[in-house]
Amino acid sequence: MAVQNLFLPTSREEMVQRGWDGVDVVFVTGDAYVDHYSFAMAILGRVLEAAGFRVGILSQPDWRSCEPWKTFGRPNLFFAISAGNMDSMINHYTANRKYRNDDAYSPGGRIGLRPDRATMPYCQRAREAFPGVPVIAGGVEASLRRLAHYDYWSDTVKPSILLDSKADLVAYGMGEETILELARRFKAGQTAKDMRDLRGVAYALGASEMPPAASDTVRHIPSFEAVKGSKDDFLKATAAIHHETNPLNARTIVQYHDRRAVVQNPPQLPVSKERMDWYFGLPYTRLPHPRYRDPIPAYEVIRDSVTIMRGCFGGCTFCSITTHQGRTIVSRSQESVLAELETMGADPKFKGTVSDIGGPTANMYEMRCTKPEVEKICRRLSCVHPTICKCLGTSHGPLVDLMKKARAVPGVKKVVVASGIRMDLARLSPEYMSELTRHHVGGRLKVAPEHTDPGVLNAMKKPTHDTFEDFADKFKRESEKAGKKQYLVPYFISSHPGSTAKEMIELAVFLKRNGYKPDQVQDFIPAPFDVATAMYYTGRDPMTGAEIKVAKGMRDRKVQRALLQFFQPRNYFEVREALIQNGRRDLIGEGCDCLIPSNPPKEALEARRERANRDLEDHVHSKDMPKPSKGYRPARPSAKRRPR
């Protein structure tokens, strides 16, 4: 029977306090333990607990030894391994492959509490601690590496994580139903091999095992050796993988790795609204574990937010949400959302403002294909690109009704929409635009036009730039009608495939003319599995084969970022050089459209001097010093050459 409003045990002492002599599942995670449904260990742990399983949470264990993996003793069923809510490499490194200064999923934002490619050492330590106990890998990192993939940080094509981690299975996508079925079947005495029929899992066959033959339900894609040696084959594999993501018609995928085959079963089917309500209605404390003295930045962001749906049919090529959560929108019922808001409103610590009500996208609530017979056979990668599909239900009525009811909940003073707005959908609904601007904008609304160039936007599978301008006009008019002075905060990406300095200059001109000065700039990071990553690696679009320009050099990427923030003095010389090289001296001077003045400001000269001094100091201190070891491995002893 589930224990109400208690954290799942994180130590042997906490396990004993529950009267347990062991656990069924040890959930290993690279994140701090926060008992909120936005954190994977919490929602999956609570789902298992509600089904009668005993779960121990091993959060951010020291991976240098297998001793932490022995905390709860030998698990009765299996280890569930996750690097955390983010891919560990994206968590550790910037787009320039430099160490990040903080980790939002760690107490106090401290770095160094998880290793590079955390899934692999976590799985290996589980094997070392208790040989013979099944090891199931999941989460974003494992999901996006379940087949051969391009790895940006090593600039190589790597094999399936199944082979490197030695995991028995990879559970990919949203894992509630998968982990629950795994637990039930392990308890019934089945083995990991018996579970190779499950949806939402991938597994590696032994060298002597034969994979299913190609058929109407099984698709063989180019092997690891082929995609590593041929960019043409890499493109073919990428296109095939992404065309097998609709759970209603997806085929099993087989990819050979030498003599072994990796098999990916079709994705899990979308869950029902009732099932979603059950997940989100479990007895979360909604708090970080009390052992943490420092705040956890990621929790501070979502503590007063409410998730109303999951999934995204946008299909943006640079985004992993569709790959991980699926294209089908699965929404909670109004009753479920309002019940959560009532609980928040009754909490004396709640200050009255709901910081966000949304999901991967703020305004896809209750939207889905209106023709099930079409949805069943559709292999389209995006329901909104290049145009909005005529079969897509785009009504904002259910969302508007929910927003009205949400702000009427006792104890709730304001409900803010902070999730990204899908502008091409929002502008179709005058009612939604009015409701949004009158009641749900906290002075500034974040939107993501991403770029202005048609070619770049097409490569992103984003709507054309006039969509943003039309939305901005409607937002301004509706804000004026409401008697409010509100602003859009547009987000843009630099160095995305298709974007060169030329396109970024035009984007900078647009920013200058419209008075936008982005504080935050997103540098494109080629995450494993993404379509845009295939573009970056091959220089071609995997869906069309068309060539596409790619900024790979760090200098080129730095220039693109500088152009997005042309107004900052520290970027003056990079912007000036880019303008001269691209024949745009007309943008240097004191004219209205000029991006930078003729003469460098004092701050630009000082910044250049500081950089020169810093570079010289780094050169002096690094001279004749041994090269540092690769990867983020704090306190790692120096490598020694093995005797031959």
Residues belonging to the chain: 644
Domain segments of the chain as ranges: 12-203, 441-618
Tell me the pLDDT tens digit for each residue of 182-206.
999 999 999 999 999 999 999 999 9
C-alpha–C-alpha distance, residues 171 and 137, integer Å:
6
pLDDT (0 to 100) of residue 502: 97
* pLDDT digit string, tens, across residues 530-569: 999 999 999 999 999 999 999 999 999 999 999 999 999 9
Q: Considering only CA atoms, which of 246, 240, 400, 263 is closest in space to residue 334?
A: 400
Sign of CA dihedral 600, 601, 606, 611: negative
d(CA 564, CA 559): 9
Spatial strand order in the sheet of 522-523: 444-450, 487-494, 522-523
Contacts of 278 (CB under 8 A, 6+ apart): 50
* Pairwise CA distance, residues 585 & 583, whole Å: 6
CATH number for the domain whose boundaries are 441-618: 3.30.750.200
Helix runs in 565-601, H state only = 572-581
Of 403, 399, 319, nearest in space to 367 by CA? 399
pLDDT at 33: 98
pLDDT at residue 622, as a whole number? 47
The reported pLDDT for the residue numbered 633 is 46
- Domains 12-203 and 441-618 alike in fold: no
* 33: three-class secondary structure by DSSP: coil
Topology (CATH level 3) of domain 12-203: Rossmann fold (3.40.50)
Half-sphere exposure of 577 (CA within 13 A, CB side): 10
Could you give the CA distance from residue 569 to residue 50 in angstroms, rounded to a whole number? 56
DSSP calls for 262-278:
EEEPPPPPPPPHHHHHH
Cα–Cα distance between 497 and 549 in angstroms, integer? 6
Q: Nearest 5°: phi and psi at 329? A: -80, 125
Tokens standing for residue 103: 């980790």
Q: Which residues of the chain have pLDDT under 50?
A: 1-5, 622-644
Instruction: Judge contact between 113 and 106, C-beta under 8 A.
Output: yes
